[in-house]
Amino acid sequence: MARVIFDRVSKYFGDVIALRDFDLDVHDREFLVMVGPSGSGKSTALRLIAGLEEATSGRIFIGDRMVNEIEPRDRDVAMVFQSYALYPHMNVFDNLAHPLQLRRVSRAEVEQRVRRVAEMLSIEELLNRKPRELSGGQRQRVALGRAIVRDPQVFLMDEPLSNLDAKLRVRTRAELIRLHERLRSTIVYVTHDQQEAMTLGDRIAVLNGGMLQQLGAPQIVYERPANLFVAGFIGSPAMNFFEARLASRDEALFVEGSGLEILVPPERARGLDRYAGHEIVLGVRPEHLYERSEVESAPPGSSLEAVVDVVEPMGNEVFVYLTTAGQLFTARLNADADLRRGERVMLVVDTYKMHLFDRETERAVL
């Protein structure tokens, strides 16, 4: 297997900048997920690794080789597409065997490798079927098998689960995790689904506007977003944002905004004095808001009053949409929360998990 390195890579399509000075080091045997909205540059990055696009500037390495001038067929990578890209006139066996036949692998070895991969993916009974006779999940397994049978240095996956229904997507995600543990291969996976990124990746790379916004383990990115974009993109429901100001009073720091006044815990306030008097953005995840009645001893300066707008029961939890001083936000509460539209409610903010961002630079300051 191999590392994949982007060294200050840019890609322009005329006046459109798909990637700008992109640096990324994918570790050997890592499952790295690139995540971001449409147009963020993630699929372009994948196509640059595969050689389907040519970098405008910068260098790309697979293992110890710079591959900018190397043909796609010689890069030793395998790509799994969103559309499966199976040959409709071939049965499953021949679809799996085709990449090996193009390399003139012996018939005996083709048979052995195809059978091994089919067993690994539990598709042995499908080998004589045509793609039209398969379900979406079965086609996806065949597409994965066609990549695996090549035994490449790097697997590239471009939104391979997006055509599956929600239940099958969850099941296939688990299969991909097990498959990676078994193969111990380098996988670069592209998705716009942040939930997919959080559950699959050893690390996730968050892209926006052709630039890397943050790189790290999923839980680190969730708990310590580097900027407003990452904070709003990672997490479901999305993080709530409140326009506010950081005020210093009586040797304490407060987040003051329309309808709220939150005390910054002293142990989290260290180093924030220079932001006193500055316009900031307060970020609070819906799961870090609680009904006042649930919290036995809420610290002073941690509550806000709001009016219930919409209640969405989700079975094991309730999403509540509220307003305070005209601003809409979301709370993720226990299933037994008994709230009604128009009701006034006191909520407690977990101040040890709130986030502060510089309004001008949009970078995290807490």
pLDDT digits (tens, 9 = 90+) for 103-129: 888 999 999 999 998 988 889 999 999
Considering the chain, what is the average pLDDT of its residues?
Answer: 92
Query: 185: which 2 tokens?
Result: 């291969």
Q: Which DSSP string corresponds to 111-155?
A: HHHHHHHHHHTT-GGGTTS-GGGS-HHHHHHHHHHHHHTT--SEE
For β-strands 211-216 and 317-324, DSSP reports them as unpaired
Q: Residue ranges of the alpha helices (H) in the chain?
A: 42-50, 92-102, 107-120, 136-148, 166-183, 194-200, 218-223, 228-233, 266-269
CA distance 170 to 287: 22
Beta-carbon contacts of 339 under 8 Å, excluding residues fewer than 6 positions away, are 308, 311, 318, 320, 333, 345
Please tell me the predicted confidence (pLDDT) of residue 140. Answer: 86
CA distance 19 to 42: 9
Q: What pairs with residue 321 in β-bridges?
A: 310, 330
Percent of the chain surpassing pLDDT 90:
72
Q: Which residue has the higher pLDDT, 140 or 308?
A: 308
Nearest to 56 by CA among 16, 113, 89, 3: 16
For 48-63, write each residue's pLDDT tens digit: 999 999 999 999 999 9
Query: 211: which 2 tokens?
Result: 């630039």
- Would you say residue 190 has pLDDT above 70? yes
- Predicted confidence band of residue 92 (pLDDT cuts 50, 70, 90): very high
- Would you say residue 192 has pLDDT above 80? yes
Q: How many beta carbons lie within 10 A of that of residue 27, not counting itself?
A: 14
Query: 202: which 2 tokens?
Result: 């050893």
Domains of the chain: 4-233 (3.40.50.300), 240-358 (2.40.50.140)
Please tell me the predicted confidence (pLDDT) of residue 134. Answer: 92
Query: 187: which 2 tokens?
Result: 């996988």
Q: Please, what sign has the CA dihedral across residues 127, 132, 138, 140?
A: positive
- Would you say residue 83 has pLDDT above 80? no
- Would you say residue 306 has pLDDT above 70? yes
Mean pLDDT of 88-95: 94
CA distance 203 to 205: 7
Please tell me the predicted confidence (pLDDT) of residue 296. Answer: 75
Nearest to 331 by CA among 344, 322, 339: 322
Look at 177-181, 186-190, 217-221, 298-302 and tell me which has the smallest mean pLDDT.
298-302
For 253-271, write each residue's pLDDT tens digit: 999 998 899 999 999 988 8
Compute the CA torsion angle 23, 28, 29, 31 (nearest 10 deg). Answer: -10
92 with 139: CB under 8 angstroms?
no
Beta-carbon contacts of 97 under 8 Å, excluding residues fewer than 6 positions away, are 110, 114, 149
Mean pLDDT of 334-351: 93
For 271-299, write each residue's pLDDT tens digit: 898 899 999 999 999 999 999 888 877 77
**Can you state the percent helix, strand and coil of the chain, rounding each to 5?**
30, 35, 35
Cα distances (angstroms) measured from residue 59 to each of 49, 51, 170: 10, 12, 36
Q: Which residue has the higher pLDDT, 293 or 223?
A: 223
Distance between terminal CA atoms of the chain? 39
Phi–psi pair at 84, nearest 5 degrees:
75, -45
Percent of the chain surpassing pLDDT 70:
100
- Would you say residue 1 has pLDDT above 70? no
302 with 262: CB under 8 angstroms?
yes
CA distance 227 to 364: 5
For 12-46, write each residue's pLDDT tens digit: 999 999 999 999 999 999 999 999 999 999 999 99
Please tell me the predicted confidence (pLDDT) of residue 183. Answer: 85
Q: Which residue has the higher pLDDT, 283 or 138?
A: 283
Please tell me the predicted confidence (pLDDT) of residue 90. Answer: 93
